[in-house]
Structures are given as C-alpha cells and as structure tokens.
Amino acid sequence: MIDRLAIFTGIPAFPQPLHVGRPNVVDRQGFLSRVEAILDSRWLTNNGPVVREFEHAVAQITGVRNCVAVCNGTIGLEILIRALDLSGEVIVPSFTFAATPGALAWLGLTPVFCDVDPSTHNLFPGGIEEHITSRTTGILGVHIWGRACATDELAAIARRHSLELIFDAAHAFGCTSGGVPIGGFGEAEVFSFHATKYANAFEGGMIATNNDDLAERLRRIRNFGFQDVDHVVEIGINGKMSEVAAAMGLTSLEHLAEVVAVNSENYQRYSDGLTGIPGVRVVTFDRRESHNYQYVVAEIDEVEAGLDRDGLMRVLHAENVLARRYFYPGCHQLEAYQSLPGRESPSLPATEALVCRTICFPTGTAVGAADIARIASIVARAVDQSGMVKDQLAGLI
C-alpha cells in the first residue's frame, strides 16, 4: 500500500482491506450438514448425487435442458470447444478475462480478437464479419458484467457464415436477455461458480445446452472419454466437479435472492453516491432485465475528473479500498499473444479506451452501506482535489 495522501490526513482509512470479489459465505451450517452427509456416503466425486442435484437446480434456474458440472469455468470452455470440434480461428472479444482466449489457445486454436461496443462493453456485432476467414469456425461471446451480448445479432452472423456460436457466461448466472434466462443462447453457454462469483462452489463451472447429443459428449469428455465403465470412446480429460464443491454450489443457490438483494442495494448506493462527481460514470443496467449486480463498475473520464483511472485507484488503495481495473491491458496486448510468431496486434480502439477507464469497486455481502458512503466520499474528495492528488502521486513515483 502506498503512503496515504495528505488530503486524507486525519480521516481514518479502512482498518481492513475491502476487496473486489470477496467470497459470499452463506448458511455455514446448511453447507456443513451436506458435507457430513457426503462423508457418510463415502461418495466424494465421480458424478455423485450432490453434483447431479446441483446440475438439476441450475437447469431449473436457467430453463435449459442439460447442465454439465465441471471443476471450473475454464475447463468448461475447453471441454465445450473440444466437444464442438472447433479448429482454426475463433472470434472473441479482447475485453474479457484471460481465461476466455486462453481456453482457445490452450487447445491449439487461434483467438481472433474483435473490438467491443463502447456502450455495452460486449462484442461488437458490426465488427465481426471483417475478421471472418476460411479458417474461422466459431464465435465466442462474453456477457460482460452480466449484461447480455447482442445474442440475436450474433446468432444471425453465425448462421450466415455457418459458424458455431458459444458464450462465456461467467458473469451472467441469474441474468436475462430479452427476458429469457442466459444459459440457452447459442450452442452452449459456460457459467463460473468460482469463489469470487456471487454464487460459488469454491471452484466450479457449468456448461448449459439444449443440445442433448452435445450434452452426452460433454459428459464423456469431462470423464476421460468413458462411455461406460471400461469403454473409452474418445480422448477426454478429468473435468469433474467434486461432491463437496457441489454442496457449496447448492447452498449458494438456496440463498441467491438475498445475495442479489444485497448486491442490488449496494449497486444503487454506489450509483447514488457517485452521481454528480465529474468524470465518474457508473455502468448502468437495463432494469427490464434480471441482473445479479455482482460487479459495480465505473468509467473514469480523465479530462472531466482531472485524474485518470490509475490515479484514482492508487488513492483508493492508499485508503485500503482495493478497487481493480478490468481487463487491463486488453487480451490482445498480453505478452502471451504479442509474442506469437507472425501475429500483429490488432487495433481495437474501443477496447484500448475501456481498459484505461474502467474501475471495479468492492461489493457483495462483506460490504455495507457505511463502507460505500465512505468510498464515494473518497472518490469525490480525490476528484475535487485532483491537482493536489496528481502532484503527490508524481512525487511517489
């Protein structure tokens, strides 16, 4: 943590760090009761009854026929890519977590980075077709912040070019698009139940699809390619979810409504508290849709605020508010892709602007109304005295 800035001298910093994505732990006793039953059964993994119950519960929430539980969302993407026999190139946004293009690259495919719509932060349909070549086999959309992609437009492009359409729905469990639950769009969608998500299974993921044949293949691949007890019909992997992880997932699902209520209240408090601060714009949600509000994100306009995003983040960190920048510097600018032979970094102006503007604030059940009021006050004071802040930060370099 850097030294506190002089403008905050005399005002106590947060005694304990406030983190983005601090896990929600709900109903400890309910979870432990499930664990006791699992231990008594001695069925700890290998598609046990708790995993199957978790799959059924997610299918009920999403309205999708088949849900296949996996050990994490990244493995879920990789299993799905393999099950669809994708190859060559797949179009993907650069404004996403590294796991999204990483799942493609890990399997030997080439992620072709496309720009996003600056108003939605999601894959820009109007920029996709210029990236389609004879090697393109799919489009991988990402529902950033739980705000749905332009699903109909992406589906039309995929049909027109005979491409597979899949979605990384890591942010979007419990959200809707056009009033329809996310999970059933494209050929399949992959959810994350990582510890930082509002509903978690410690580590976990779920592949949702209405394609019964695809679901059967997904189940084979996640279990080494076994079709029955001793018959391996294709190359697979160990992508199974454990019973204990599923127990945590089920317990989380039982308390979704109360966690979403907390997230929604926190989002509104941030929105109210940050409104009117020059250069600070909280990302909005379509109130006609259902949202999980697990991310509170703002864009910082350096010209209006007098302070750039990174400067504001350093101020917040000095006050023990561990806000984060997402998804800096853009996947297309990560060393892993910059260093690939024969690859030129594309120009993605919307992405390159967003990664320098977006900041994510702490929320969830570990954050209360008084915390948010103080965070808003810190932001307001930093912007109000931006000149002094910049001078002090320059002196710390």
Structure tokens given for 142: 């990402």
At 343 the pLDDT is 66
At 300 the pLDDT is 98
- CA-atom Rg of the chain in angstroms: 22
Closest Cα to residue 280, out of 371, 355, 367, 384? Answer: 384
Strand partners, 131: none
For 8-38, how does the pLDDT look when each residue is reduced to its tens digit (9 = 90+)? 767 778 888 999 989 999 999 999 999 999 9
Domains delineated in the chain:
28-253 (3.40.640.10), 256-396 (3.90.1150.10)
At 1 the pLDDT is 44
At 397 the pLDDT is 55
For 281-291, how does the pLDDT look when each residue is reduced to its tens digit (9 = 90+)? 999 999 999 99
Cα distance between residue 305 and residue 181, in whole Å: 37
Strand partners, 70: 205
At 394 the pLDDT is 83
For 77-114, how does the pLDDT look when each residue is reduced to its tens digit (9 = 90+)? 999 999 999 999 999 999 999 999 999 999 999 999 99
Which residues in the chain land under pLDDT 70? 1-3, 9, 341-344, 396-397
CB 207, CB 70: distance < 8 Å: yes
For 229-242, how does the pLDDT look when each residue is reduced to its tens digit (9 = 90+)? 889 999 999 999 99
At 7 the pLDDT is 78
Structure tokens given for 261: 């209520």
- The contacts of residue 130 (CB under 8 Å, 6+ apart) are none
Strand partners, 96: none
This prediction's pTM: 0.95
CB 95, CB 330: distance < 8 Å: yes
Cα distance between residue 244 and residue 200, in whole Å: 12
Structure tokens given for 129: 């077709």
Neighbouring C-beta atoms of residue 290, cutoff 10 Å: 17
Cα distance between residue 89 and residue 396, in whole Å: 45
Closest Cα to residue 122, out of 96, 161, 158, 88? Answer: 96
At 301 the pLDDT is 98
7, with CB counted inside 10 A (0-12, 13-18, 19+), is middle
* 360-380 burial code (b ≥16 CB/10 A, e <16): bbbbbbbbeeebbebbbebbb
In 33-129, which ranges are E strands? 66-70, 89-93, 110-114
